[in-house]
Chains A and B, each alone.
Chain A
Amino acid sequence: MTPNTRQLSAERPAPATPSGTPVEPPRLQLKGLQLTYRMPPVKGRIRTINAVRNVDLEVERGKFVCVVGPSGCGKTSLLRAIAGLLKPTGGEVLIDGHPVRPGSKDMAVVFQQDSLMPWRTVRGNVRFGLDVRRQKKAAVADNVQRCIDLVNLHGSESLYPHQLSGGMRQRVNLARALAMDPQVLLMDEPFAALDAQTREVMQSELLQVWQRDRKTVFFVTHQLDEAVFLADEVVVMGAKPGRILRRMTVPFERPRSLSVKRTPEFLAMVEEIWELIEDGVRTAAAGGEE
C-alpha cells in the first residue's frame, strides 16, 4: 500500500513476446498445479489421493476471484499451495511471474477463525506480520492504525482476541493481512464460522475495503451466494480429483449492495453453480472420501 512498493512491482521487467511488445504477466498464475497427498497406510497399502490435478488458472491484477466446490475438491489445498504452506507435487504457482515465498509482499492469508495470537492485542495482532519482518514499531504505527480503522475496529486496539466477537476477530484477521500490503490477498473461508447476519455485514464491509485499492483476491468459500456476491469471477471446482469445472464471470456492476442478492439474475446464477456441483456435494455429504 506504500506507493514505493507499488511502483517497484510495476516496474519489474516483463517478459517480451516474440513480436517484441512486453506483456505483463498475470498477477496470480497456476500452471498445471498438482497436489498429491500420501495418506496413512491402511492394511499395509500406501494410498495417495489427488487433492488437485492439473489446475491452470490465471487471475488478472485487481480481480476478485471466488473458488467454490464440494468439500474435498481441494479448494483449501489450492489456497494453501498459493500461500506456500503446501508444496505442490507438480506444476507451479507464480505471482507476477515469480514463484511465491511466504511472508513476502506477494501474498497474505486471512484464515478461518481463531488464528489470532491470543496474547497479542488487536493492534499487536495486526502488527504481527510486520514484527516478523523486524520492522520498527514506530515506523509501522500509522500503517497499522490505518488498517485497524479500515476494518472498523477503531477504539478496540487494546482489546485481546478473547474479548472480541467472532466478527470482530475476523476483522482483525483481515487487517493483519492488509497490513502486509500484499499483491494477492488469500482468504480461506474467512466468514464460515460466523452467524448468517454477521456474515452478510462482513461481506459488505470486505467489498468496501476492497473497493479502495482493488487488491487481487483469491477467496475460498462453500457459500455459493457469498461467492457470487463478492466475486468478479467464480471458479467452480469438482472433486475426485480436484479440478476446475467451470469459470463464470459475474456480471453485476459495482459497487454492489446486499440488495443484489434478491435479484432474479443473482438467484439464477447461484442456481446454475449449484447444479454444477450438486452431485459432488451429495457424494461428499453421504460420507464420500474427503
Chain B
Amino acid sequence: MSLDLAYGLSLYGVSLLTMGGLYALLTLGLNAQWGFAGLFNAGIAGFFGIGAYTSAFLTTAPTMRHIGGYDMPYVVGIAAAMLVAGIIAYLVGKVCLRLRSDYLAIATIGISEIFRLIVNNEIDTTNGARGVSEIPKPFEHWPEPYNQIAFLVLVLLAVLIVYVLLEVARKSPWGRVMTAIRENETSAKAAGKNIETFRMEGFVIGCMIMALGGALMSQYLKFFNPAAIDPLTATFLVWVMLIVGGGGNNRGAILGAFLMWIVWSMTELLTSWLPSQWETPWFTLNDLATRASYLRIFLIGLLLQVFIQRFPQGILRERRPSFSGD
C-alpha cells in the first residue's frame, strides 16, 4: 500500500469517526428521552437544526446574507444553541408531556417541519435554501491533518463528557425515578413522584444534547442549510442507531451511533460504484445508483423493524443500577 493511499484512508477514518461522534451526541440525547423517560421524539432534526443555526448565527463573521454574524467564540455559540433548544423543548413539553407519548411524537415532528419551513422562507434572516456558509471551525488554521484530528478529539471529548454526566444521572436517585416512571407510571405516581417534572427534565436535557450535536455539526461542515434538517438522516437514522445499540444503555447509544454510521457510509460508497444502467433481457433499470440509495434506506428501515420485533433490547441491553451505585 502506498503512503498516499494510507494517508487518504486514515483521513477518511478520521472523518468517519468525527461524524460517528457527532451522531453519538444525538443518540445520547435521544437516549435521555427514550431510554430514560420513554418519550418518543420524532423531531430530532428540528432540535439539531435549531442548535446548528443558533451557533452558526453567533459565531460567523459579520455578513449581510443572514442575521447574526457576531464573530463570537465557539463556546458562546454552543452554550446559546443549547439554551435556545432547551427553551423550545420546554415549551413543547409544557403542551404535550401531560398527554401520552404519541402526541409528543406528532408535536415534535411538527416543530421540526415548521422550523424547516421558517429557515426556507425567511430568506433575509436565514439566507433560505442557500444556507449559512463560512461557519468558523475550531482548529481550522492548524496544518492539514492536525486540524482534522484536533476536531475529532474535541468531538470525542464532548461525547465523553455527555456520557459521564448521563451515567452519573442514570445511577443517581433521579435516574432510578426515571426508570420507575417509564416502567410503571401509576406506581411511580403513587410513590409521590411528580411525573411531568421528571419527564420534562429528561426531554429538555435530551434536546439540549441534540443542539450541542447540531452546533458542533455546523462547525464541522462549515456550512448548514435547511436540507440538513432532514427527517431521514437526522431523525430516523438516530432512532435506528439507538434501537440497534440498545435503548436505555448509554454505551449502547454510542456503539449504535458509530456502528450504524459506518454501515450507512460504507453502503453509500457501495452504491456510488454501481453502474448507471442494468440491462436484462426483459427490462432495463436506469439510474441504478439513485435507486440503490433508496434500497439502502429501505434496508435500514427493515433493520429497525427486525430489532424492535426480535431484539428490542438492542446489542447492549439496559443495566439497572443497584442501590449501592452499580
Whether A and B are associated in the same complex: the answer reads no
Taking Cβ atoms with an 8 Å cutoff, the residues of B that contact A are none
Taking Cβ atoms with an 8 Å cutoff, the residues of A that contact B are none
